[in-house]
Amino acid sequence: MLKKVTDKQILESVNNLPVLSEVVNRSIAMLNDPACSIRDLTDLISKDQSITAKIIKMANSAFYGYPRQIRTLSEAIVILGFRQIRTLLITASASTHLNGAVEGYMISKGELWKHSYAVAYVAGLISKLSEKAKPDEAFTVGILHDIGKLILGNFLKGSYNEVVELANEHKINFAIAEERLLGIHHAEVGGRILEKWNFPEFMAFAVRKHHNPLESDDNKALIGIVNLADTWVREFGIGIGNNEDSESLEEFIIKELGIDETVKKHVEEYLSSEMTQMGDLFPDDNKSVKLVEISEQ
């Protein structure tokens, strides 16, 4: 039987969650400094070889459409620019948090990370197509949208089915069922994590509302885009756990964004080739990470 989670328990859990990474935090602070130099930034990020390798891998995604292969970190910074590098830094370090199993939600190792990356990628694509939100911001919110599950999962252990049953029985959104049983849902917890990590308020808000895109006028497009990306990614087979949105908002959001329904097919194709191309980012248990680490000259 599930018990309500207290505010104090959530606060403690959020405070205990490790920060993204020391190198990433310092790099982001450096990016915020107008005097930031590419050389200093490269030196700093290169201290973390795993993050560096992931950034180079992602910089070569078709999402950025650079025609030649990017081989070094400094090349990636010069070609993609500071804005995209910030997104890739966050993505690379969040992957470590998101890659583990989340027992409470019956999510096995690697699943949450794969789902989050797919949602981020699709949210970025929809932003480009609709021109209603900034692709890098939609990507970042997509990466972090379900991060609250890392914390709430600890309070759900062994009782996940209670939430699923309540949602099915009352035909309510999964997040609402979580809130009824635990007093809080994973999206709200995620918003609190982003605040704690000093993300801009609108991003924390977008994570908070990703299952209730109609509840607010602020940032409606960004929240709608992430919700739609989440729905589509589930349909494309990269879902986690239970279907979270019992009532499909899909049609409404598509109309609001002014995109053509036929884009869904193309998005699915793009996503499938992206996931294949980025394969090394999603190692399964039997495979070790094969990211090529290329040192700076």
Residue 176 beta carbon to Fe ion: minimum distance, rounded to whole angstroms? 12
Residue 146 engages Fe ion in binding (rule: CB under 5 A): yes
Q: Which stretch binds Fe ion (CB under 5 A): 75-83, 141-149, 163-171, 280-288?
A: 141-149
Q: Give whichever of 137 and 230 is closer to Fe ion, judged by the CB atom.
A: 230
In the window 216-235, what residues touch Fe ion (CB under 5 A)? 230
Contact region for Fe ion (CB under 5 A) — 143-151, 163-171, 260-268, 288-296?
A: 143-151
How many residues touch Fe ion (CB under 5 A)? 2
- Contact segment (CB under 5 A) with Fe ion among 21-29, 56-64, 146-154, 279-287 equals 146-154
Give me 264's structure tokens: 């869904």
What phi, psi does 18 have (nearest 5°)? Answer: -60, 150
**Contact between 48 and Fe ion per CB under 5 A:** no
Asked if residue 293 lies in contact with residue 52, where contact means CB atoms within 8 angstroms, the answer is: yes
Smallest gap from Cβ 127 to Fe ion, in A, equals: 17
Least distance CB 234 / Fe ion (angstroms): 7
245 is a site residue for Fe ion (CB under 5 A) = no
Q: Which is nearer to Fe ion, 17 or 291 (CB)?
A: 17
| Residues making contact with Fe ion (CB under 5 A) | 146, 230
